[in-house]
Amino acid sequence: MQSSVPSPVPVSAPATAPVAAAAKADVRPALAGYSSTSDYAVIQHRIGLTYGIFALLLTGVFVASTGTFAFFAPAQAFKVDVSMLAYLASVAVLAAAWLLCRGKLRPHLILGLIDGGSLLSLTALLSVTSTFAPAGLHAEHFGVTLFVLALALHAALVPAPPGWTIAVSAVAAIPLPIGAYVQMREGRGMTEPFPGELGIVMVALLCVATAIAAWAISRVVYGLRVQVKSAMQLGQYTLEEKIGEGGMGVVYRARHAMLRRPTAVKLLSTSGLDTISSKRFEREVQLTSQLTHPNTIAIYDYGHTLDGVFYYAMELLEGLTLSQLCKRDGPQPSGRVIHILSQAARALAEAHSVGLIHRDVKPANIFLCVRGGMYDFVKVLDFGLVKEVGVIDPAISAPDLVAGTPLYMAPETIARPDDVDVGVDIYALGAVGYFLLTGEPPFTGPSAIEIYHDHLYERPTPPSERLGHPVPQDLEDLVLECLAKSPKDRPASASDLADALATLQIAHPWGGKEAKERWAAHPRAVIGDAELSDGLGMTLTVRP
C-alpha cells in the first residue's frame, strides 16, 4: 500500500520567512525574550519570588538588630528616625512588588516598571538608611552590602537577558554614590580605610563590579534556559509541558509555530529498540495518519529529532480513558456502553476498510471527551500495533511476535500471531464492552500465561452472572458473541457490529442529556495521563 502521508518537516530545516517573522513578533514585546504566556508567567513569578525573599531577609535583619539593641542599648532600641523609616519603607516596597507579581499576569511594561522600580527604590531607601543612621553605627557599608546581595539574588533567580540585568543594575546603583557624597558633605563620610572622596570612588567601583558580576550570572542563567528551550523544539513544535509518560515514550503538550492548535507530541524511547522496531513505529504512524474517521485520534505530523528519536504530533484530548471511567464510577449503564462501543466500532470499521488492524483495543486506548458540544464522544487512541492486512515485510516484521495486551487479546493472536485478521479487534472490543458492563476484564489471573489459557479455552462468565443482577439480554448476547473463540462465530466485521449496536441503541437509548448529566457530575477532566503515552501495550515473543 502506498502511503499518502506527506514527508515530515525535518527538524533541522530552517524556518520559512513567515515562521521566522511570527516568532520574532512573538518574542519582541516580551520582557525577557519569552514567546508564550506560560513562559512569560515564569519571569513574573521569579521577580515576585526575588523581592519576597529579600523582604523576608530585611525583616529578619530588622528584628535581629532591634533585639540586639534592646539587649545592649535599650535607649536606642526603639528610636524612630529617618533611617529607620527609610528601612521600613524599603521592606514595604519589596512586599508590594511581591504582591503585585502574584495572581494575574501584568502587562509587559508594568512588570518592567515593577522590577526596575522596586530595585531602584530599594537602593535609594537603603542609601537614605545608611546616610542618616547614627554616626556610631558605621552604617555606610550597610547599604552597599545589601545592594550586592540584592543584585546577586536578582541575577540568579530572574532568567532575564544579560542586557536587561546590567541596565537595571546600573540604574539601581545610582543612589549609592549619591548617598556617599551626601555623607561626605555632612562630614559623615566613609570611615577608614576609604575616607572622603576615596570612599565615593570605592562605592562607585563596587557598584560597577557588582553590576558586571550580575551580568555574568544572568548570562549563565539565561543562556541555560535558552538552551533548554532550544532542546524542547521539534521542527515547528515547541514542547511546553510533560502530560504523560510510559514505558515506550513520553507525551508533551506542544504548540505549533503557526497553527496555534492544541497538540500533543509523543516521543518514542529509543532505549532497547533496534532498527526494525524504529522502522515499524514510523510505518505505523504513516498508516494511522491515513485514517479520517472523527472517532479516531488525528495524527498531524511525524519526524525524527537530531539525535534520532522518533516523534509524532497528534490532537490533544481532554477527557478520560475508559479504564479511568470504570475505576472512578464502576460498571456503566447499558445505554452508555452501547453508545461508546458503537462509536469505537465505526472507527475500527474505517481502519479495517483500508486494510489496517488495530491489535491493541483496550479501555486505556479508548478515550471519552467532549467535541462540538457532544458529550461522551469517543476517540480511539494509539494504533501503536497497527497491522496492514496481507502485508508481511521482513525488514520491519518479527516472526512469532505476540502483540497486544493480554487481558484483551484474541485467542488467535496467542495461537498464531502471524495470521490474524480484523476478528482480533472485534474480540478486543467485546472484551472492552464486558469491562464496561462489569468493571472487570473477561479473564483475570496472576500471570499472562494463565490469562492466555483462559482466552484460548475458557468460556467467559456472562456479565449478568458476574454482576449478580440482570443485564439486557440482547446486549449480553452481543458481547459474548464478540468473545467467541473462533473468529467465524463473531460478527463478520466491525461494520456489522456497529449496525447491531445501532439496533440496540433504539431499545436502550443514551442521549446527549444523560451524557451531559454524567459529565456535569465530574466537571474536572483528566488531561492526557500516562495511559495516553503508553498505548503500545505488552509485546511478548513466543519461543517454540
Catalytic site residues?
Answer: 360
DSSP code at position 273 = -
- Could you give the count of Cα atoms lying within 13 Å of 195 in the half-sphere of its Cβ? 2
Q: Give me Rg for the CA atoms of the chain.
A: 33
Q: Is the bond leading into 14 cis (omega within 30 degrees of zero)? A: no
* Contact of 403 with 359, CB cutoff 8 Å: yes
Categorise residue 373: left if φ over 0, alpha if ψ from -120 to 50, beta otherwise. left
Closest CA to 257 of 210, 297, 313: 313
Closest CA to 314 of 367, 270, 388, 389: 367
- Report the distance separating Cα 401 and Cα 543, nearest Å: 9
Q: 168 vs 114, 173, 389, 506, CA distance in Å?
A: 11, 9, 66, 71
Catalogue the E-assigned strands of 322-454: 356-357, 366-371, 374-380, 387-388, 401-404
Give every strand in the sheet of 374-380, ordered side by side: 374-380, 366-371, 318-321, 526-527
Partners of 401 in the β-ladder: 541
* Contact of 239 with 233, CB cutoff 8 Å: yes
Phi and psi angles of residue 96, each rounded to the nearest 5 degrees, phi first: -65, -40
What are the cell numbers at 256? Answer: 505549533
Closest CA to 438 of 317, 326, 541: 326
Distance of CA 5 to the CA centre of its chain: 27
Catalogue the E-assigned strands of 156-214: none
Closest CA to 130 of 63, 199, 74: 199
Q: 310 vs 242, 265, 267, CA distance in Å?
A: 17, 10, 6
Burial class (CB in 10 A: 0-12, 13-18, 19+), 377: buried
Beta carbons within 8 Å of 492's beta carbon, 6+ residues apart: none
Closest CA to 507 of 475, 476, 478: 475
Q: Are strands 526-527 and 318-321 parallel, antiparallel or unpaired?
A: antiparallel
* Contact of 61 with 87, CB cutoff 8 Å: no
- Report the distance separating Cα 489 and Cα 19, nearest Å: 55
Dmax over CA atoms of the chain, in Å, equals: 105
